[in-house]
Chains A and B, each alone.
Chain A
Amino acid sequence: MRQSFNHHLKADVLIIGGGFSGLWAAISARRFVENVLIVDKGPKDWGGLGTSSGGDFQCVQDTTVDAALDDLVYYHDGLCDQELLETILTQSFERFQHYERLGVTFSRDEKGKLKAIPQRNLTHMKMLLVRPYGTGGPSMRDALVREANRLGVRRLGRMCVNELLLDEKGEAVGAVGFHAQSGETFAFSAPAVVMATGAGGWKPSYIFMSNSTGEGAYLGYKAGAALSHNEFMHIWNVPVLFAWEGQTGLLPVGARFVNAEGVDFMKEYYSPTLGANTDTTYNCRGMAFEARAGRTPIYFDTSPISAENVELLKPVHGWAKINYDRLIADEGLDFFKEKSMWMPQIMWHSGGLATNHDYETAVPGLFAACRCRGLDPGVYMGGWALCTTAVTGYITGGNAARRAQEKGLALFNRTRAAEAMARALAPLGREGLPAKDLVRETQEIVYPYEVCLIKSERSLKKALARVERAKEAFLPRLSAKTPHDLAKLQEGLSMLQAAELFVRSSLLRTETRAGHHREDYPQRDNDNWLAWIHAERGPDGEARLYKVPVPLERYRIKPYRYYMDNFTFPGSETAR
């Protein structure tokens, strides 16, 4: 032990990832156990993506859980875990109140009524706001960190976890990792482990989004847990050259997405009912079909917004303000006066760990909170992430703590731990291919719109061949000059695996539903595909994919309306 690791830390509950999910899990776990440790590969207490978020928070407060759930079943095109979502919706109000107790202030009108904005043309799914825009995320982070401090939650930053540790019974009892700035090696032992590493993704350029590279799923999968929702990803429309947050708020006041011919293509061609006022995934699909038709570039035209509204909508805080001001100062580019070129960008992969309703994975003792659990079929609503981080983080932390109390001891095999560490460190200092190239390659595999937006057997098979080639080329020759590079390398590996599972699961789902569009199977197929696809690592190391039917017989809501029916994309008119 002494030789294999520089440090050995013990905890009752080990939480991997200190974003909002991890912080909520820790706060909750402390109700039952003393020693709660959060490790994060980012700076200590940086709060993950949540800190750069707007603070928009989905909450059921002026409607019923039943009505909201009905909206979600519709929005998810029937592919939703109603029992799980019902708990999330039910507890969203408690976590909102909890945030208020911790000192976060949500916007209210003069009468003190909470401001709540319906999302994506849904009736009951509404988000609460923190204003001015840009103060929400930091104020939530500060509140959670203050509470974690008060409760004596231990936190360790710049700590890259790279393998889970199991005991003889195959139960999770810790992890190994290294400090990403020094390379100091760590063994962590804990009778319960919470994955709170956020969503997966392929490092898009979007503020902090690119730090969440799906390692929770990657590590869990390697340890024997199943993954779900791999065929889905969430795609956002973004300016080509710079970042912009909050375009959904600009659409209702007149901003328009137009094609090269100046046509509001969503309204004109793909969804006369919703137009562009929908989930970005559908807008992006529209953009892809515009590219097909040779009608790109796509522009976001802000010129119809009234001067009065521009004053109200100008960023006044944080990164968004610097960004806006500097675009004018350095590039002479006033966002509210020009048409800027936009494009789809993959934000995150929906794939994540599959769990039971206690958020425990198939590996006993390994729990998954929020975005590293597969949940959404590639569609998203403003404020949903912060709602689910709080609710599922809280539930998961409590469950993990109770599990820790029951299990008590965490004993792992030291030789195997040392081997795991050695495997992780192997690329350090050797000659070979850098993380940068691996990351780039995975991006090139999934980014083309014919892979991520308009899928077909042909395009997916091509992508799969590229995955195979990347595995052959990179896996034996990975190298890292510094521990910093080694941490990036692990991200690249996780991205490559996600790319493979994305492509394989997309190939398997021979239908179109929610965020998944197959141009060779453009119709919904309820007979065969009201089912999730789970992926597990087979004994040969290869992915084993299988169907898990949605247990509709148990559910109260039988799907009867479908959000996807608001859209008509080329090909979907014709039956298959």
Chain B
Amino acid sequence: MLRTIDQEKCNGCGSCFKACGFDVFRLATDQHEAPPCQAACPLGIDIRAYSHLLQQGRTREAAQVLLAENPFPALTSRLCPGFCQKKCARGAVDTSVNISGLEHYLGELVLASDPRPTPVTRFGAVAVIGSGPAALACACFLNRKGHAVTVFEAGAKPGGELCTPKLAAALPAQIAYLEKLGITFACGVAVGDGLAIGIEDLREQHFKAFVLATGAEKDKTLRAEPPFSSAVDISDDMLVVVNPQTLETRTRWVFAAGTLRGCPASVAHQIADGRRAADSVARYLNGWDMIESRPVLGPVVVDVPGKGIEPAPRLERAGEAPFAFEDMILEANRCLTCGAKAYAAFKDDCMTCYFCEMACPQGAIAVHPFKENLPRTISYAVEGVK
């Protein structure tokens, strides 16, 4: 029977979990050390955790893990350059895991679900100005905290820079999803100094905090001055000046996020910025410390799996279609869940077949030759060797 799993030697590759015919093993993914993919991800998504759930086909739980950091997997899986994949330990064995394919699967799953409106549990509303990735992320995280959120968009449709052909179908679906959550979209309403409505006007309508996220041209020379100088300082580069950790501006109730405040232009960085702004808004509205216990990632796993792992071809999505369930599971099972720890979740199903021990590239598993004590055909009073 399975006797020991040496936790020091185990590097999380999951070979035991994948090989066991009796389904004895699971991986503990909640570890202090972060896997390289998570460390590389601007959003710090716990890819290891959701990937192990996907390995088991537990798609809804996986989606919850992903959504905790990234509310828009359907969008990022189509736009993100895949910072995670570039650091994927599987790359040293054959090719990186198709993380973006897994994310796409979950993104579609999320959009196909029919979310219920988030209950509004806080008094007063938050205004998010702009509707690009930082703005939408900020709105979504504030909605989760129970705040009423209105997204103001000067254009006719929400999305800002997300309005690209790549997202022709996904973006409207994502917006519809956010509307179902209870986020209000006010399109065709330009907010700012001298525009249809100003920040101070909105304050009078019980908007208690503001997040400016109207974006900025990549080329400095093309940027116009953001119309918010009544509340915030504007830099020479025509960006809103913020405290980079808290995204606070000169005015306590005004925050800025995304490229408008100089955040890197990738969609993942911008979503992370929106999330940070939402966190700050909540702290401000609650009167908390703006800095204390902001999330920090642990050190990165150094001893990543790879040695002794059999190559397996990376699966690619067929065009625009997400993976089928069977392919999703296959691809997820290429993940080496760096730094997780194996444990016997269903220990009494072990049947002393040694397959886990043979599969473990780390020599971390020891099976003892004595097998399970089952009922006997002939029962001997003393069992042993002579």
Contact = CB atoms under 8 A, between A and B. Distances in A.
Interface of A: 7, 9, 42-44, 46, 52, 154-158, 179-182, 184, 203-208, 210-211, 235, 240-243, 284, 287-288, 291, 296-299, 318-319, 322-323, 326-327, 330-331, 333, 338-341, 343-346, 436, 440, 443-444, 447-449, 452-453, 484, 487-488
Interface stretch (B131-139, B206-214, B253-261, B324-332): B324-332
B297 interface: no
B23 A341 contact: no
Nearest to B109: A6
Contacts of A241: 369-371, 383-385
Interface of B: 18-23, 55-59, 325-326, 329-330, 345-346, 348-349, 351-355, 357-358, 366-372, 374-378, 380, 383-386
Q: Helix, strand, loop or mixed for chain B's interface?
A: loop
B354 A343 contact: no
Given A158-B23, A182-B58, A205-B351, A330 B377 contact: no
A180 B377 contact: no
Contacts of A488: 349
A198 B259 CA distance: 61
Contact of B330 (A42, A44, A296, A487): A44
B310 to A, nearest CB: 11
A48 to B, nearest CB: 8
Contacts of B375: 440, 443-444, 447-448
B89 to A, nearest CB: 22
B357 A346 contact: no
Contact of B367 (A155, A179, A322): A322
B326 A156 contact: yes
Nearest to A447: B375
A322 B377 contact: no
Contacts of A327: 369
Task: Give the 8 A-B CB pairs with smallest separation, nearest first.
Answer: A182-B57, A319-B354, A181-B56, A205-B371, A242-B369, A182-B58, A179-B57, A344-B377
Nearest to A37: B326
Nearest to B372: A205
A330 B326 contact: no
B58 A205 contact: no
Contacts of A319: 353-355, 358
Contacts of A322: 354, 357-358, 367
Nearest to A40: B21
Determine which residue in A181, A291, A327 has the highest number of CB atoms from chain B within 10 A of its CB, and name it: A181
Given A299-B386, A318-B358, 5 more contacts: A180-B23, A204-B374, A242-B369, A287-B378, A322-B357
B57 A184 contact: yes
Contact of A341 (B58, B352, B385): B385
Given A205-B351, A241-B384, A323-B369, A181 B326 contact: no
Nearest to B21: A42
Contacts of B59: 182, 184
Contact of B351 (A207, A242, A284): A207
Contacts of A204: 374
A333 B348 CA distance: 25
25 contacts: A43-B20, A154-B326, A158-B23, A158-B57, A184-B59, A205-B352, A208-B21, A208-B355, A211-B21, A241-B383, A242-B371, A287-B378, A296-B380, A322-B354, A322-B358, A323-B369, A326-B367, A326-B368, A330-B368, A330-B369, A444-B375, A447-B376, A448-B377, A452-B377, A484-B345
Contacts of A210: 22, 351
Determine which residue in B21, B23, B345, B349 has the highest number of CB atoms from chain A within 10 A of its CB, and name it: B21
A242 B370 contact: yes
Given A319-B354, A330-B368, A338 B21 contact: no
Contact of A339 (B351, B377, B386): B386
B353 to A, nearest CB: 5
Contact of A484 (B23, B325, B352, B369): B23
B23 A181 contact: yes
B329 A343 contact: no
Contacts of B18: 43
Nearest to A335: B385
A331 B369 contact: yes
A449 B377 contact: yes
Contacts of A44: 329-330
Contacts of A484: 23, 345-346
A362 B352 CA distance: 38
A331 B325 CA distance: 46
Contacts of A453: 377
B252 to A, nearest CB: 47
Contacts of B377: 235, 284, 288, 343-346, 447-449, 452-453
A181 B58 contact: yes
A297 B18 CA distance: 39
Determine which residue in A205, A211, A322, A343 has the highest number of CB atoms from chain B within 10 A of its CB, and name it: A205
A463 B264 CA distance: 74
A46 B374 contact: no
B24 to A, nearest CB: 9
Determine which residue in A9, A284, A323, A443 has the highest number of CB atoms from chain B within 10 A of its CB, and name it: A323
Determine which residue in B20, B59, B329 has the highest number of CB atoms from chain A within 10 A of its CB, and name it: B329
A198 to B, nearest CB: 12
